[in-house]
Amino acid sequence: MFIIRITGVAVVLALLVLQSAQAFTGDTLKSIPAPYDCPQGLAFDGEYLWSADRKSDLIYCVNPGNGSVIDSLPTPGYVPRGLAWDGQWLWCVDAQEELIYAIDPATEIVERTIYCPVSRPTGLAWDGEYLWLAADRDEEIHQISSEDGTTIASIPAPTAHPWGLTFDGT
């Protein structure tokens, strides 16, 4: 243990900078408040975060730099659980209706609706070609067609209750 007896703001700042430079996998580097009380899904469109909220029945467009809400649009279903961005549309999976909606955020129009091939969906991601879907108690993650919801492949989930998905581009 090191004891530093030098006082001053510069020493504290230097220690904070040193500690933040040593971030490890899993460390929280930044956090912003959720726009409402019950966030259920999160997606990134390359500029903004999109957050679905079950209590407000809205999907919020959020500035990731400062957490300010840029815009909002109504959720097409009652229990939004996952969001994904495909470069054109914002996809939203609804756990109650078991439907997946493709929404044009500029017009707020649902451009496509497909049946969800699993019960109680909990996560959605886009890999550049297909949607990926998780479901509570399913123990699998499913690759599905964005055209009609057909299951392309299923892989074992790392847990019995997968919740939330994302794709890192690799």
What is the residue extent of each domain of the chain?
A: 37-156
What pLDDT score does 86 carry? Answer: 97
Give the C-alpha separation, 138 to 118, whole Å.
Answer: 8
Q: What string of H, E and C letters represents the secondary structure of 121-164?
A: EEEEEECCCCEEEEECCCCEEEEECCCCCCEEEEEECCCCCCCC
Q: Are the CB atoms for 104 and 111 separated by under 8 Å?
A: yes
Pairing of strands 121-126, 109-115: unpaired
- Return the CATH number of the domain spanning residue range 37-156: 2.130.10.10
Alpha helices in 9-92 (DSSP H): 9-21
Give the pLDDT of residue 159.
87
* Tally of CB atoms within 10 A around 86: 17
Spatial separation of the C-alpha atoms in residues 24 and 128, rounded to whole Å: 28
Using CB atoms within 10 Å of the CB of residue 170, give its burial: 0 to 12 exposed, 13 to 18 middle, 19+ buried. Answer: exposed
Residue 23's pLDDT band (cuts 50, 70, 90): low
Percent of the chain with pLDDT over 90: 72
pTM given for the model: 0.83
Does residue 74 contact residue 108 with C-beta atoms inside 8 Å? yes
DSSP state of 67: -
What average pLDDT does this structure show over 83-111?
97
